[in-house]
Amino acid sequence: MASSLTRSSPDPVELVDIAEIPGGGQLRLLRSDGDYSIQFGSEELMGSCDHVSEEALATLTCQRLGHRDGNVLIGGLGMGFTLGAALAAWSARSSIIVAELVPKVVTWAGGPLAHIFRDHLADPRLTIEIGDVHNVIGASKDRFDAILLDVDNGPDGMIRPENERIYCNWGLRSALGALKPGGMLAIWSAYPAEEFGPKLEDVGFEVEEVRVPAFTGSEREFHHIWFAQRVR
């Protein structure tokens, strides 16, 4: 996938910082003429100018639930676009937990990316937990109205093999059990994965897959979101 920096600016790309991923690997924070990108190797995980689908992950989930109160878990802080959309979508009576594996991503949110996060980190509804979202899910029972996952570029362990636990049969069963009846698991992906919808259904979810433009005005590039609801 082409970096949003190469689409948005002809200016040179600057390395701002490097974050070590627990267990191995690195994330790089890049900047070009005021635009930012978080990359893993040659893959862009998040860009500051392309965030339509990341916001849709939260807003479309809340719309499908039909109510604005509840407990929400977000897997992956990124540049905060899903978080910002969740804070806007859910009510003042809600609580939102963000599980972020890489501590320096949280540091970036209060540093070079502070202008993007604005005042989101100060919202009283928000709790940030440094750690694996898989562990938060596994330790929860009938707890969440929504679980929003954007921890890889899709439903596989691209960034770290351990993330496969989230998308395998027993990992999805853990997510089912962590949701309240009627709750929604929403998973973001940069690419289609035809086998993933049936995998969610096999666990017991009621599933809908939606294509969302990869960036504003895109008619040829799309991202994908699976909405998987615990029906009882």
- The full set of domains in the chain, from first to last, is 14-44 (no CATH), 49-230 (3.40.50.150)
User: What's the pLDDT score for residue 151?
Assistant: 85
Identify the band that residue 176 occupies on the pLDDT scale cut at 50, 70 and 90: very high
Select the highest-mean-pLDDT range: 1-15, 39-53, 144-158: 39-53
pLDDT in tens, 106-148: 999 999 999 999 999 999 999 999 999 999 999 999 999 999 9
61: number of Cβ within 10 Å: 26
Whether the full predicted model's pTM is greater than 0.75, yes or no, is: yes
pLDDT of res. 154: 79
Task: Quote the CA–CA distance of 135 and 149 in Å, as a whole number.
Answer: 13
For residue 101, name the pLDDT band (cuts at 50, 70, 90). very high
DSSP 114-147: HHHHTTGGG-TTEEEEES-HHHHHHT-SS-EEEE
* pLDDT on residue 119: 96
- What is the torsional sign of CA 73, 172, 210, 201? negative
Task: Indicate the pLDDT class of residue 67, thresholds 50, 70 and 90.
Answer: very high
Please indicate whether residue 111 or residue 11 has the higher confidence score (pLDDT). 111
Q: What is the pLDDT of residue 23?
A: 86
Q: Assess whether pLDDT exceeds 80 at residue 158.
A: no
In terms of Cα–Cα distance, which of 170, 131, 169 is closest to 151? Answer: 131
Burial of residue 226, with CB atoms counted within 10 A of its CB: 0-12 exposed, 13-18 middle, 19 or more buried:
buried
- Is 1's pLDDT higher than 80? no
